[in-house]
């Protein structure tokens, strides 16, 4: 199955539960051997929350306002679980500079917990009943648009007009007073669009070579970082994602070691640049968050495969 930019929203939600901040590591020159592998060393960073998001092991729900610039649509989604679900959570397995390689991992219990639909293994390797969906109820969402009234969101929905929907710096408020949970109010800021995203020299990549990326700087002092992701275009491609945290200067370079992890499959990749703000709060079930994101990107292919 081919993944488009809209499919990136599925990747945003897990990262919100255990996001990555700037990787703290020694300087590297970008050669393929520079990445530190967490399976053999202590160099990979622990999963630390991106600003405003939930701590590892606490996220149980969220409201995501996801603006896909390539598709000219804003997708609003919301969800709530009875407890944190540790299955297939992304974890860093290697680091190089400001980039980490994230792989989905699931804790293992010994003995096994049994039916995977009824029980899960927790982060501290104990069996517990599998988390179940809970009713989040209607979310009253204010997008900071001049003269616009708040509107109600239930589960998910797409908005195509106006586009772009997000106003840079505008306060976006999500309020929930009904449903199977404590009431909560969350606030985040609208962000500027990031496109056009480009790869100087053309939409290609070469294994063992760094990858330069450009985008439009946001010019928002309160939003001074972007996330750059390099991930599979197809479901049978590389299992992990390259996730980089860069200053919002309009250009950056993904290290060769990270490109090499994806290039070894010889398949097309999706390159995306995200600009986001977020806020979280703790309720009885755990941590819930509001995340506001604008993303643009492009499909890149292995050199010589065009």
Domain ranges for the chain: 8-102+192-302
Query: Is 2:269 a contact under the CB 8 Å cutoff?
Result: no
Mean pLDDT within 4-18: 38
> pTM, whole model, 2 decimals?
0.82
Higher confidence at residue 164 or residue 1? 164
Query: Is 295:288 a contact under the CB 8 Å cutoff?
Result: no
pLDDT, the chain, mean: 82
Alpha carbon distances (Å) from 295 to 187, 238, 281: 20, 21, 24
Q: Considering Cα of 111, then 93, then 294, then 277, what sign does the dihedral take?
A: positive
Q: What pLDDT is recorded for position 128?
A: 94
CA distance 222 to 292: 14
pLDDT tens, position by position, 232-260: 887 667 889 999 999 999 999 999 999 99
pLDDT > 70 fraction of the chain, expressed in percent and rounded: 82
Q: What pLDDT is recorded for position 33?
A: 37
User: In this model, does residue 19 exceed pLDDT 60?
Assistant: no
User: In this model, does residue 13 exceed pLDDT 70?
Assistant: no
pLDDT > 90 fraction of the chain, expressed in percent and rounded: 58
Q: What pLDDT is recorded for position 90?
A: 87
User: In this model, does residue 101 exceed pLDDT 90?
Assistant: yes
pLDDT tens, position by position, 38-64: 433 334 344 444 678 898 889 999 999
> 57 is written with which tokens?
């092991």
Q: What pLDDT is recorded for position 50?
A: 61
Mean pLDDT within 258-269: 90
User: What is the band of 215 on the pLDDT scale with cuts at 50, 70, 90?
Assistant: very high
User: What is the band of 82 on the pLDDT scale with cuts at 50, 70, 90?
Assistant: very high
Name residue 94's beta-bridge partners. Answer: 37, 101
Q: What pLDDT is recorded for position 249?
A: 97
- Dihedral of the CA atoms 186, 189, 190, 191 (nearest 10)? -130
Higher confidence at residue 41 or residue 270? 270
> Domain spanning 8-102+192-302 has what CATH number?
2.60.40.10
Least confidently predicted of 190-194, 200-204, 243-247: 200-204
């Amino acid at each position: 199955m081919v993944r488009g930019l809209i499919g990136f929203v599925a990747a945003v939600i897990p990262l919100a539960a255990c996001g990555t901040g700037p990787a703290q590591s020694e300087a590297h020159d970008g050669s393929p051997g520079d990445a530190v592998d967490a399976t053999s060393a202590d160099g990979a960073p622990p999963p630390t929350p991106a600003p405003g998001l939930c701590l590892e092991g606490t996220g149980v729900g969220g409201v995501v306002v996801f603006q896909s610039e390539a598709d000219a649509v804003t997708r609003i989604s919301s969800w709530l679980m009875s407890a944190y679900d540790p299955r297939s959570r992304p974890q860093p397995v290697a680091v190089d500079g400001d980039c980490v390689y994230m792989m989905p991992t699931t804790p293992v219990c010994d003995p096994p917990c049994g039916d995977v639909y009824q029980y899960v293994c927790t982060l501290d390797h104990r069996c517990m009943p599998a988390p179940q969906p809970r009713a989040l109820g209607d979310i009253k969402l204010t997008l900071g648009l001049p003269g616009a009234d708040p509107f109600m969101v239930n589960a998910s929905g797409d908005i195509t007009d106006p586009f772009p929907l997000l106003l840079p710096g505008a306060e976006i408020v999500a309020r929930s007073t009904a449903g199977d949970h404590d009431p909560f109010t969350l606030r985040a800021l609208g962000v500027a669009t990031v496109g056009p995203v480009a790869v100087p020299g053309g939409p290609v990549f070469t294994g063992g070579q760094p990858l330069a990326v450009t985008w439009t700087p946001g010019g928002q002092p309160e939003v001074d970082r972007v996330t750059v992701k390099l991930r599979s275009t197809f479901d049978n491609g590389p299992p992990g994602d390259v996730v980089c945290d860069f200053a919002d200067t309009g250009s950056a370079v993904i290290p060769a070691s990270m490109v090499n992890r994806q290039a070894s499959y010889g398949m097309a990749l999706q390159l995306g640049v995200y600009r986001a703000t977020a806020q979280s709060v703790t309720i009885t079930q755990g941590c819930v968050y509001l995340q506001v994101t604008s993303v643009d990107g492009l499909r890149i292919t292995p050199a010589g495969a065009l």
